[in-house]
Amino acid sequence: MSANNLFTNGTKQIKHFWLQIMKQLVQLRAQLHQLAGLSIKYATLAKDKALFATHNSILRALKFFNIFSRIFKVIINSTILQVDKALTVIDNRTLQVQKWLGSTVNKLESAIKTFVLRQKQTLLKTYNRVAQSALAQKLKQYALLIRLDKPIGILLLLWPTLIALWIAAGGWPDTHVLMVFVAGVFLMRSAGCAINDYADRHIDCKVARTKDRPLTSGKITEKEALIVFTALCLVAFSLVLLMNPLTIVMSLVGLILAASYPFMKRHHYLPQVHLGAAFGWAVPMAYTAQTNELSTVAWLLFIATVLWATAYDTMYAMVDREDDLKIGVKSTAILFESADKLIIGIIQTTLILCLIMIGRNAELGGFYYTGVLLATGLAVWQQYLIQHRQPAQCFQAFLNNNWFGLVLFAGVFLEYQIGDITS
């Protein structure tokens, strides 16, 4: 119950009590008046001094009672007046307090709402920043998984694909075919890296060069690697569906080669040949996409790509040969042993002869053979780099194959763009 209600009830009780007292006082005064009347009557009749004395006493009592009643009434009225004033003051104070409390509560509520809103905004910003940071880190790990930081694999797959497209088209290929295969090179090489890391997840940690890869270091999970591989393959296959039926059928073989290559190093010593077949299969696919048929030139290009990939991937395997021997991984670098440089030279020589046969069958001219001559010079330079089997030099020889592919494509490109004009 509020103070206001308490005082209001108290005032009512006081007034009620005063009315009861006043009523009793009125009754008592009436009785005294009645008694005074009787006393004077009997005193007059009896002419008795004692009765006159009693009558005088009653009159004095009545006079005293009247004085007492007036004083009591003044006290009661004053008390009620003071209570009413106090109640008014309390009402005013209560109103002020209510206003102050209302204002304070409103300000506090506003401050709390502002604080909560700011905290929500801060938390949201922090969450977004953390989420973006986490997403950025995850995307970075995916990029490292598919070797976006090392595009050499894309280039080594791109050059034979472009050469096949230009020879199949006799010049600039159909734009949509070109776009599909350039995108396909990126997608399938990336998918190959993802499935390769999945296959090697238990052995990469034992090799100094690969121990910090995303899957081996635990920055992404095995499931994520398989999802990335599957997603890339599905996108690549969706692009192949834009091609003719023969190319679509051939793409299934390419998928099998790409998915199985990483596991071959556990079963035989020729995983580099398997990689060559996986990389090389893009050549007849590109050829059929452009011409809807397979010719001798297409298969010669395939063989040349297999030979080339076997040579440069053996150089790459020479970098990890000591680690591979320790962990039991097989490769042509281990198979060839001390004859590795000689066998790589034989493969490169066979490759050059195959390129010459391609030039004759496709009736190519001087620009093409100039590219072959420059490529031969680069092959000799690679032999020089691997002569001491130093891992760093072997790796440089592997990287040099990008220039090997570039000069070959440049020869083919110039042959069709300029050679036809000058002939």
The letter for the amino acid at 380 is V
The pLDDT value recorded for residue 224 is 93
The mean of the pLDDT values for the chain is 84
Instruction: State the Cα–Cα distance between residues 195 and 227, nearest whole angstrom.
Output: 10
Q: In Å, how far are 32, 38, 39, 40, 316 from 52, measured between CA atoms? A: 15, 11, 7, 7, 150
Task: With a cut of 90, say whether residue 46 has pLDDT above it.
Answer: no
Residue 41: per-residue pLDDT: 65
Whether 180 has a pLDDT exceeding 90, the answer reads yes
Model confidence at 310: pLDDT above 70: yes
Segment among 210-219, 305-314, 349-358 with least mean pLDDT: 210-219
Q: Taking residues 201-205, report their average pLDDT.
A: 82
The residue among 289 and 32 whose pLDDT is bigger is 289
Cα 236 to chain centroid, rounded? 25
pLDDT at 67 over 80: no
Helix 340-361 / helix 366-385 crossing angle, nearest 10 deg: 180
Cα of first residue to Cα of last residue in the chain, in angstroms, is 113
Q: Which helix (H) or strand (E) holds 145?
A: helix 49-145
Residue 407 and residue 162 in contact, taking contact as beta carbons nearer than 8 Å:
no
| Contact (Cβ atoms closer than 8 angstroms) between residue 158 and residue 182 | yes
For 182-193, what is each residue's pLDDT tens digit? 999 999 999 999
pLDDT at 3: 47
Q: pLDDT at position 289, please? A: 96
Nearest-angstrom CA–CA distance, 273 and 279: 10
- In angstroms, the CA 394 to CA 385 distance is 6
Query: With left for phi above 0 and alpha for psi between -120 and 50, is residue 170 left, alpha or beta?
Result: left
The whole-number pLDDT of residue 123 equals 55
What would the pLDDT profile of 8-43 be if each residue is shown by its tens digit?
A: 565 566 666 666 766 776 777 677 677 767 667 666
Mean per-residue pLDDT, 117-127: 64
Q: Could you tell me the maximum CA-CA distance found in the chain, to the nearest angstrom?
A: 177
What backbone torsions phi and psi does residue 212 show, to the nearest 5 degrees? -100, 10
- The whole-angstrom separation of Cα 236 and Cα 234 is 5
